[in-house]
Amino acid sequence: MLNETYRGMLNHKSVIRETFMYGKQHAAEIGYENVFDYSLGNPSVPCPPQFTLAMQNLLDTEEPVDLHGYCPSQGDPGFRTAVAKHLAKTFALPYQQKHIFPTTGAAGAIAHAIRAVTQPGDEVLTFAPYFPEYGPYVEGTGAHLKVVPPQAPAFQPNLDAFEQMLTEKVTCVLINTPNNPTGVVYSAETLTRLAELLAEKSRAYGHTIFLVSDEPYRDIAFDGKAVPYPAAFYPHTLTCFSFSKSLSLPGERLGYVAVRPGCEGEDILVDMMAQISRFTGHNCPPSIIQRAVSRCLNVTSDLSVYETNMNLLYDKLKALGFEVERPGGTFYIFPKALEEDANAFCMRARQYDLLLVPSDTFGVKGYVRLAYCIDTEKVERSLPALEKLAASYRR
């Protein structure tokens, strides 16, 4: 018999995907260049040339049996060592090979990290607004996702509500900075207080509460500011990273879990995640990609276009009177809709060929997400459409 759970999910349509599909259809009618599609978070800049060169060099020089052979179940040792060195240098924490578990993107990283530090039935807390895939990632482990309500307009985590919800059932907290969908970077002050609460409650309950930090946008930071690194604030942190955005390689599925040195279980967590892979059919990420990326850890794609686009949109939205927080990173911005119902607002935006995503899908009402990983020229041409949309609410 077909599995009822997964079969039932086929009827739940993703609003992001529905918007994207509408955009494709609309583009066929009025031309691709005339649809201002802010729906999907797909990198729009190419990978750095170093990655292509590394791939070509590996194919030209390595023995195929070695290059394409099985990895150990903990991943390619060279990649793990290179990542550990890179993190140690960047964040001044003594990461070693044993702390690094390569995964198929951040999705694989989060799924493994949470399975490793929870028992079925445990609660995992996250902060609204949040990436909706956290739902399946967490529920798939047997733990339950509970969402701390949002704190507008700055969208730093709501730590008062968090403290109330941080009961004995909670064994793991999942954060995302820089944040999808808001673009907000969690401040050092936020992370300090968050770490204090985690330490205090861990002591009170007699068990370690782990922090899983999802950071695929870490390298997309604006205004020349560094993004505070959560693992630097709290020792029991599993950092989840993906090269999808930093190196513009989303289709090649490479990421990692980095177990913070000093974390409870630091000597066995990677071995445990290798065991978890056997149960999910996850496997190691591809060998050649691990080896090529290990040569590119000190470079990124040219990510400056995202800051250019952010400034254009932020300035225009502010000028039009939108309530909006200035993003500190990512390629998202999260203004308040001009009417209470974000879905209705997004439907009206379509009349101006603007494709936005209503915030309901991120666990917040009344906002919209714009993913500005598109050409700057198109962002510029979209500004009059934003003007018209705003004007339609002043009539």
- Taking CB under 8 A as the criterion, which residues in 126-145 touch a copy of itself? 133, 136-137, 139-140
For tokens 């599609």, the residue is 37
Minimum distance, C-beta of residue 276 to a copy of itself, in the bound complex (Å): 5
Distance CA 337, CA 37 (A): 17
Any contact of residue 115 with a copy of itself (CB under 8 A)?
yes
- Taking CB under 8 A as the criterion, which residues in 237-256 touch a copy of itself? 248-253
Among residues 173, 269, 296, 303, which is the contact residue for a copy of itself, using CB under 8 A? Answer: 269
Any contact of residue 271 with a copy of itself (CB under 8 A)?
yes
- Residue pair 194/174 in contact by the 8 Å Cβ criterion: no
Any contact of residue 156 with a copy of itself (CB under 8 A)?
no
Give me the amino acid identity at 391.
A
Nearest CA among 200, 148, 205, 204 for reference residue 175: 148
Minimum distance, C-beta of residue 376 to a copy of itself, in the bound complex (Å): 15
Nearest CA among 230, 172, 175, 232 for reference residue 202: 172
Among residues 28, 226, 268, 319, which is the contact residue for a copy of itself, using CB under 8 A? Answer: 268
Among residues 63, 224, 377, 394, which is the contact residue for a copy of itself, using CB under 8 A? Answer: 63
Contacts of 145 (CB under 8 A, 6+ apart): 123, 124, 126, 134, 135, 138, 139, 174
Among residues 35, 82, 117, 313, which is the contact residue for a copy of itself, using CB under 8 A? Answer: 117
- Taking CB under 8 A as the criterion, which residues in 282-321 touch a copy of itself? 282-289
Give me the amino acid identity at 20.
F
Any contact of residue 378 with a copy of itself (CB under 8 A)?
no
- Name the one range near a copy of itself by CB under 8 A: 111-119, 185-193, 323-331, 333-341: 111-119
- Name the one range near a copy of itself by CB under 8 A: 68-76, 149-157, 308-316, 336-344: 68-76
Rank residues 43 and 230 by Cβ distance to a copy of itself and give the closer one. 43
Cross-strand pairs, 332? 371
Minimum distance, C-beta of residue 68 to a copy of itself, in the bound complex (Å): 5
Minimum distance, C-beta of residue 163 to a copy of itself, in the bound complex (Å): 21
Among residues 281, 377, 394, 395, which is the contact residue for a copy of itself, using CB under 8 A? Answer: 281
- Taking CB under 8 A as the criterion, which residues in 2-61 touch a copy of itself? 2-4, 6-7, 9-10, 42-47, 51-52, 55-56, 59-60
Distance CA 330, CA 309 (A): 11
**299 exposed, middle or buried (CB, 10 Å; 0-12, 13-18, 19+)?**
middle
- According to DSSP, the β-strands at 357-358 and 170-176 are unpaired
DSSP state of 216: T
Give me the amino acid identity at 261.
P
Distance CA 259, CA 269 (A): 7
Among residues 34, 164, 167, 280, which is the contact residue for a copy of itself, using CB under 8 A? Answer: 280
Report the half-sphere exposure of 151 (CA within 13 A, side-chain side): 15
Rank residues 164 and 275 by Cβ distance to a copy of itself and give the closer one. 275
Minimum distance, C-beta of residue 170 to a copy of itself, in the bound complex (Å): 11
Number of residues that bind a copy of itself (CB under 8 A): 77
List of long-range contacts for 68-74, beta carbons under 8 Å, 24+ apart: 68/287, 68/288, 69/287, 70/287, 71/102, 71/284, 71/287, 71/290, 72/284, 73/274, 73/277, 73/278, 73/284, 74/101, 74/270, 74/271, 74/274
Contacts of 154 (CB under 8 A, 6+ apart): 184, 325
The CA R_g of the chain, rounded to the nearest whole Å, is: 21
For tokens 């009417």, the residue is 339
Which ranges in 154-286 belong to alpha helices (H)? 159-165, 188-205, 243-246, 269-280
Rank residues 109 and 185 by Cβ distance to a copy of itself and give the closer one. 109
Rank residues 139 and 380 by Cβ distance to a copy of itself and give the closer one. 139
Minimum distance, C-beta of residue 264 to a copy of itself, in the bound complex (Å): 7
Minimum distance, C-beta of residue 150 to a copy of itself, in the bound complex (Å): 23
Among residues 15, 27, 88, 272, which is the contact residue for a copy of itself, using CB under 8 A? Answer: 272
Rank residues 186 and 234 by Cβ distance to a copy of itself and give the closer one. 234
The two tokens of residue 73 are: 């179940």
Among residues 104, 176, 239, 359, which is the contact residue for a copy of itself, using CB under 8 A? Answer: 104
For tokens 């993190």, the residue is 87
- Taking CB under 8 A as the criterion, which residues in 190-229 touch a copy of itself? 207-208
